[in-house]
Amino acid sequence: MKKIKAYIVGIVTFLIFGFLFWEHFHGGVTCHYILNQQDLPSISNWWSGLLLPILTWFLLSRIEKRLDKQFLQTKQTNNPISNVFWSFLTGLVFGILLSTSFTSEYKLFLDNVPYILIVLSFIIPIFYSEFILGFILGMTYTFGAILPMIFILIIASLGFIIYRFIRPLVMRTTKVFGR
């Protein structure tokens, strides 16, 4: 797993620096303003070059640790890697959809993002590292890595509360009333 992790981090590092150098030679590296307000501080995309490889390594380490712990506790026969892949892909697609909606100024989707994520929190654990990594990678082209990281950490905290505490209450309530 460590070799795969190193390859993934290497690919992410190569891609982010390739993107940053392309931006640099085509008009300059973009800066993103907090809340898209010009009077608030800006964050340069150069920070993504530092943050994204470190964040990728950290999140992949957390995935590896969680999978090892799950395997030792349950001796699962199904493939947990496919669950990781689908959660990563869900985060990636959601991040790409959010970025595309922002650049296309599709307000209907943007206005409902918090509600979509709350509903998604009842279905899948959006606080898992693979979802967070996919989400950040999906939004990096449009927003850099810093703003998506801040956004998803806030939303993932809410998702943790919903998935771990509210979802079980809803499930028990539906079982009681379903009888």
Distance CA 132, CA 155 (A): 10
pLDDT in tens, 67-121: 888 877 776 656 778 889 999 999 999 999 999 999 999 999 889 988 999 999 9
pLDDT in tens, 23-81: 999 999 999 888 888 898 889 999 999 999 999 999 999 999 998 888 777 766 567 78
Are 121 and 163 contacting, i.e. CB atoms less than 8 angstroms apart? yes
Diameter of the chain by CA atoms? Answer: 65
| Token representation of residue 111 | 């206005």
Radius of gyration of the chain, Cα coordinates, nearest whole angstrom: 18
Q: Evaluate if pTM is beyond 0.85.
A: yes
Q: Which residues contact 165 (CB under 8 A, 6 or more apart)?
A: none
